[in-house]
Structure 1
Amino acid sequence: MPYLSDDDKTFFRENGYLVKHDLLSEKQLHDALDVVWQNLDCDRNNPQSWIDAGPNHPRIGAEPAIRATLYESPVFPMAEELVGHGKLSSNTNPGPHFRFPTGETDWKMPTHGHLDGYYTPTNGVPKGTVGRFQVGASFYLNNVVHKGGAFTIWPGTHIQAAEYFKKHSLLTFKGGNANETFDMPDPVEITGGPGTVCFWHGQLMHTGAKNCAEEIRMALITRLTRKDNNELLFEFPEDIWANYDGIN
């Protein structure tokens, strides 16, 4: 029985994202959090030590408990329902993307986002190259509230990006900054409890907000590509959903 309804797929097509809750079991959350806390420079039992702590991206993606959140949960099968069963590579790991409390109260909704896959001095993408993927998934290991560093998206910008790249080079935007080129709608802050997952189109503008809450925003993010992604990297068919067999 499929996880996603026709309405879910229509929402994803139109908005470029889809939020689902409670996709991780209590055991998966417990085991993943144990790994996380073993790799943070702060005390699990002392919230004051969480302020401006780190690291933001501990290298734990290959740990079995972290991989299980993607491959032993409904997350990967749901992504397959968008792109097509058997079409996605399983060679990627979920990467931690944490936002630690700032201890500040001055919060504003983000005004600028970015596209993934572009070089910046700190993100590990080789200069002069660009990456591309079909579906991203951002999943929370703990409760993420308003003003708590939530994953933030700009609905519909995936369609603008697809149309833009039919006529322009993928390398157009430095650091994935398309804010001055696209007609940016109001952003949407993705909040939710442990096990909340936001699926998003690989060319959706997004960012992480400032964390003015008390909790660490513990998010895992994965970028899922088709097995034939290298052949599709510079292809932008007239039908932007041509390579999304699950919803085309």
Structure 2
Amino acid sequence: MSEILSKKEIEQFVLNGFVRIENAFSQEIADAVLDILWNDLPCDRSNPSTWTEPVIRLGMYTQQSFVESLNGKKMHLIFNQLIGKDRWIPCRNVGTFPVRFPSVQKPNDIGKHVDASFAGNDPNNYFEWRVNVKSKGRALLMLVLYSDVSENDAPTVIYEGSHIDVAKLLAKQGDFGLSFMELASKLDDLPKRKEVYAMGKAGTVYLCHPFIVHSAQPHSGTIPKFMAQPPLLLRDELSISDSTVGYTPVEQAIRLALD
């Protein structure tokens, strides 16, 4: 069993920029993760009156339950299908958690963006991090649900097919690419794309092309939302031209923009 995704799912990833994986990890793993995260939050799990902020960021987590959630055999086989065997680096942490709480207060981080993948002049300033057309350093964006997420629970908005628009932008920018902020400033001028909400049960993972445009939303539900959005790291960079061995799905998507 070396292939998990069907041919249709691969085609969906190439054209739409994401594929939804259900039951990527167990409820037990999700529960173990939530226990650790709640322990680190400055509020009471059982008392909603203490949930006074719309979003609180936590990270980085390397405990076993976090690492296990993204390193099951199923996920590794899918990574091989999308990126190629031995071309990605297994996750050893799951990045930061923007924990979202029900709130009438608008969070300050809900703009459209594309996650950057390599450091710019100031490695400590994420807004100066960069992204280039070969997606140096980043194989995938992963939206990992550790709590159940319905349409009221601030699901991340994925702009279907936007990765191709972004690849066209980046193709003109060479190896140095664009900074996080430079790219973000251009996203509203891109073609209008269908909005898909990243919803599902705990254990659902959306594997997204590294160039996918996405945005956070305010939380209008009742249960706090726990999601991580780590990169799957690339060992090198993608091959988007002159390949003698063909192109993986994540590379094929970029090549659609170059034609």
User: What TM-score results when the alignment is normalised by the length of structure 1?
Assistant: 0.81
Match of 2:61 in 1: 61
The percent identity for this pair of structures is 18
Higher mean C-alpha displacement, 193-202 vs 36-45: 36-45
Output the CA distance in 1 between the equivalents of 2:39 and 2:68: 17
Output the CA distance in 1 between the equivalents of 2:215 and 2:92: 21
How many pairs were matched up? 236
The answer on 1:191 being equivalent to 2:222 is no
**Preserved CA contact (<8 Å) 2:145 2:227:** yes
Output the CA distance in 1 between the equivalents of 2:181 and 2:93: 26
Q: How does 1:233-244 map to 2 (within 5 A)?
A: 237=241, 244=248
**Match for 1:147: what amino acid?**
N
The 3 A distance-change label for structure 1 pair 146 and 245 is closer
**Structure 2 residues without counterparts, runs of 5 or longer:** 253-259
1:35-80 CA distances to partner (integer Å, 9 max, x unpaired)? 1111111112223323416632x22421222111111363343222
Match of 2:255 in 1: none
**Structure 1 residues without counterparts, runs of 5 or longer:** none
**Preserved CA contact (<8 Å) 1:23 1:75:** yes
**Match for 2:94: what amino acid?**
P
Output the CA distance in 2 between the equivalents of 1:91 and 1:197: 14
2:230 aligned to 210, 215, 222, which one? 222
Output the CA distance in 2 between the equivalents of 1:98 and 1:126: 15
**Preserved CA contact (<8 Å) 2:152 2:221:** yes
Q: How does 1:157-236 map to 2 (within 5 A)?
A: 157-169=162-174, 170-171=177-178, 174=181, 176-177=183-184, 178-229=186-237
Match of 2:85 in 1: 85
Match of 2:154 in 1: 149
Equivalent residue of 1:180, what SS?
A: helix
Match of 1:5 in 2: 6
Match of 1:140 in 2: 145
